[in-house]
Structure 1
Amino acid sequence: MALDRIMMLTISLSLLLFFHSTNSMLLGWVESPGYPSGYSPHASLNWSRCAPKGHALSIRLVHLDMEDSQDCVNDAIKVYSDGGLISILCGNMGFKELQSTVNPSLVSSSGGCLSLSFHSDYSNTQRHTGFRGFYTIKDFDECRDDPNNECTQFCHNFIGGYHCTCRHGYQLAKDKHTCSVSCSVDLSGLNEGDISSPMWPRSYAENANCLYSLSVEDHLQLELHFSVFDVEKSPNGHCIDALRIETPSGILGPFCGHTPPPSPVLTHSNDVKIHFTSDSFGTNKGFNLHFQTRDKVCSGTVTAHATATPQKAEHDRGQKVTVTCDVGYVVATHGVHTLSSQYETTCQSSGSWAPSHTCEPVNCGFPEIPNDGVLQLVGSDTPQTQYEAQIQFHCISEYYTLEGDDKYTCNASGDWVSAGGETNMPKCVPVCGRPQRHIGSAGRILGGENARLGEIPWHLLIKSPRAGASLINDRWAVTAAHVVDGILETTLQLYGGLVDGRKSSGAGVTLLKSEKIIIHPGYERPLSSGFRTNFDNDIALIKFTSRVNFGPNLLPICLPDVNMGVTVNEIGTVSGWGMTETHAASALLKYAHIGVYSLDTCRSTPNSQSNEAMVFSDNMFCAGASGKDSCKRDSGGPLVFPSLTVGTGPYYLAGIVSWGAPCRLLENKGYYTKVENYLDWIKNTIATNKS
């Protein structure tokens, strides 16, 4: 033990003298608890120190005597550098072994920290003296030990840091690390000369950032002739080093590889800047060029997307050309599109064209589509609208069908045109006359069959006064004029999607509020006494305050085609919530199938309340069947065809319940407004009342 202490003291003094000789500072000792008498079970130590910037911290262990175990799971020393574990130690090692295998790794980074933790468990069968080491800071040699010192040429270390210097001909950049050549030259005023890469004819300098400025009189242009060109290029074709030719009208390049720019380079400018850059590697030769001047000419290409007539590669001062924009492009003046595709321009002494306009793509603008929430564009709500752009439409609801083409293209005239040549936008037209539940084959209103929900989805109920109406699209319904005559249009309410007339709300029931009531101008109001003999033009339109949301129980009925007519004995279906044979209004929607009578039968009209014969006009027809007829409070409701051909369709609105003999007389003959005669009036009225 005495010999060990003498050896340790000798080593310590030697190390002190060594560090003193290298201008380092010994900071102190770190040792296990109880050293050298031995550490006790469950002993622990946590130690940490940091080095100042430009210095490194190291630990040199001079003694290690601890319990040995596999992977040092019992007693252990753990050393960390900047939080990362760099060594785990246990067992017994001599000084030479520590110096050769352990101590070289116990060093921090520049300005970094070292941490040490020691612990012992309870399992020691004999006493161990522990460990001892000293920690010291020393200068960190960035030039030798730090591969990221950033000096591109020469590195010089000093205590606490380092600095960079450059070879002859180079200068240190502002970052104090990069060496670059001073190669920016202003050659303004020279009409002829030579330019070459830095260090020519040797390989060009690394980290070059050269700018060669050329400027001559306004009426001249600079011409560049390359004789040698060898600039570094990557295997995939990208420029590692590059040459660029900058003029007021744009940048030519970058150029690299072994092929120079097409010589001579006509810059069409009296003001040119040649920019050359290189990285820190490579042995390429560089470039050499001769510059000279010539009179300015105008380029044969006046503007993009256009053709100049006459066509020449160059045009001399004073020559005129006609510029014709390509198909789908128009002349733009100061960014504003004109309606012309041609203009004339003259070559100026400056080498530019005047007037100078561009040819821009025709813009068709956003298509004009109704803001009804039904017709929509497929894809983006902000589509491309320039020449040859395409848009596509669709209807968002299954209860509408697209009327017209679905795809349109922006053409050269600035119009959206379909493949079929159509310029009007398509429409989403309601699917009409096709109930999802087919109408039954039998029944009558007077004691007839009850309609099932969805069987007659176009029939609307007016509760006050008790009557009916037919839904013909998502904003309009049609009814008899005498039903709504004298009613304040904003108070009228209709109900759809129901068969039980006692309901006003609930699942599926839709309340439709009236915005406007339009009675046919040929309709004659009754006398002040209330008696009347004429129901001619008994038709009115009702516009809703908002669009109807269709569903399986609320769908429109089709209007008839022109000249469709009604045929004697043709069977139709009439429906309503009107009087039954009990002389009481029906709570449920009823329907009956009735046939069209002949004109002779219809002309035999019943007397009115004033015992005068009722008027029968060409705007009416009559229909009925044995024991089947419409009745009071069915007014305004629909008579539709076809009726008995289940599974086909669509159904269309042939008549509107208008008038007839009192139901108690059981004549089984009702009179209907002939809808076919009013198609133009209906369409024109809807068109003029869109807003």
Structure 2
Amino acid sequence: MTAYTKNTLIPSRSENTNSNKMRYLLVWSLCAFLFGRAAAIELTDMFGEIQSPNFPDSYPSDSEVTWNISVPDGFRIKLYFMHFDLESSYLCEYDYVKVEAEDQVLATFCGRETTDTEQAPGQQVVLSPGPYMGLTFRSDFSNEERFTGFDAHYTAVDVDECLEKSDEELACDHNCHNYIGGYYCSCRFGYILHSDNRTCKVECSSNLFTQRSGVITSADFPSPYPKSSDCLYRIELEEGFLISLQFQDSFDIEDHPEVSCPYDYIKIKAGRKEFGPFCGEKSPGRLETQSNSIQILFHSDSSGENRGWKLSYMAIGNPCPLVQPPINGKIEPSQAKYTFKDQVVVSCNTGYNVLKDNVESDSFQIECLKDGTWSNKIPICKIADCKAPVELEHGSVTFATRNNLTTYRSGIRYSCQRPYYQMAPNITGTYTCDAKGVWKSEELGTKLPSCRPVCGQPVRPLPGIIKRIIGGRNAEPGFFPWQALIVVEDTSRVPNDKWFGSGALLSDSWVLTAAHVLRSQRRDNTIIPVSKEHVTVYLGLHDVRNKKDAVNRTVEEIILHGGFDIQNYNHDIALVKLKEKVTLNAYVMPVCLPQFEHELEGPHPNTLGLVAGWGISNPNITVDEIISSGMRTLSDILQYVKLPVVLHAECKTSYESRSGNYSVTENMFCAGYYEGGKDTCLGDSGGAFVIQDPGTQRWVAQGLVSWGGPEECGSKQVYGVYTKVSNYVDWVEEKMGSSHRWKFLDPELKR
């Protein structure tokens, strides 16, 4: 008996393949014949050819040969016949070819054609389930018809394990990848491949929950949970909390009908207590762990398709006593029960503040502690207190409530010392204590008004300007409360080292005067002010013989106009800042500066104005003589005179016709009578020429006594020349500072 495989026929690629084939056939046939009934041939090539003994001649009688075919794992064997001619018999009792694999008969063939009782292979292909196949040929004691046997071929074919794996233990858990001769498995994102290289598990050993409530599920719930996994879930809360677990009814963990949870299970450890293991389809329901720290262990083996579990947990702490809100207050949140870690915020009604340990605040928070007590006592609510209102300088405060209350909704009213000061801006002055404990008005909010001097409104009204007053008239006390006497003692002045001048009070700390009054006169023509230490200002002086009625002030600063010209007295204006403010009264009040458009245009021709002074004729007088009753003046009592404003062209022509270099500039105006008269000489240098505004009835300083001609005072067609103040309002405001602007301008009016 001989047999062979296909690869034994192809030892090389030489051209004598046919002769080689014949030699191999003879060898395999001889070997098969010698082996006889006990022959068994091992075939391990990936393909081959198997022939019956003596093929293509008739096969011998009483013969049995077995070919054992094996290929590598991952392949199966395909067998098919190119020729088949065996003796026919009922159910292949005589001669047959039997194909076996893994202890099962895959096919038994005999005869030439398939009948009801016998089967011939024909075009049929036989596939082994695995990498092994056995083929046995058997003939009985006779072969009288000389049947020729069979010619079969086999080949190894790749197994697509990803499609054909029927054994669950060998199938991939998630993804299967086939290749020639084998396959491999991979896992979805979030999973890792188990050491068996088939199942997929999750890394779930570091799940920590620290919130007071939450939800925990098996991985992929409600889809089947991963295999071959050991998951650990930890809930760690502060001491004082007790954790309770509530499993959902949808509970599905692989179990066993006889053994308790041998495959997959869930266990809970709570301190020394242990719950479980749990498996199957019955939910554990609610578990009271009585612990603040628990571990949930979930184990799954390498098989099963169960859906898993889901639970919610909640921590309950020790209860604290119910709290009551303070009077005029509230607590949030308001609950029927408070437990460990619950917090309560105490706040007060509008107009009240929380008071705790003598500290006021908008709210106060307390917390329920693990021992069942509150972290602090409930504070009280104290009504907001605005406290004593800020005093206004030159003003007063009136309380609107009894007992001068300063608490929430109490009212006050500011007022100024009339008639010397008025409120700026012009508001009611009413303030109310708000809920924050702050005094607030509807007009200014939290800002305060100020009491600013009233200008140009003497307490004793000046007489109306109707007709000329011949020779001047005595002023009543308080007629000219802005009149200031400026006394200078300057030893550097040559030749006169002591002199005086007048000025006009603009505010409680500023006086307006002529620059030539305060210029230090040396032998050269330099324009520098006298030393402030050498100047004294007297206010409220009426009778020079009664100095106790006067207020005297030293000087903090002297400002001469930078453009003052000693040759023609252009820009003859100056400011004096008093070292100490004066308190306004009936005899000390400021005059107004030009403010409205018609005032800023300067005085109009023929307008009557007033000039006041003591008419001191000798400029070289000692200070003592000025203040004593023996000083040489035209009058001991302050005098005033009414003078008309002269047409600018007329005044200019009058002076240009005289010998000498006289210049009446646009910064000057003239006043006086054409026929002259002594009353023209009453004004003291630097004193104010005031005109009453017809609309507001305020007296406005339109001029400052500056200079006159060389003729004797009072001569015909000799006019007094005045500095035109309306040209210098901006300069005055700039030097005094913007914060002082409304101290001499009426705060109720805008320029």
TM-score, scaled relative to structure 2: 0.43
Larger radius of gyration: 2
TM-score, scaled relative to structure 1: 0.46
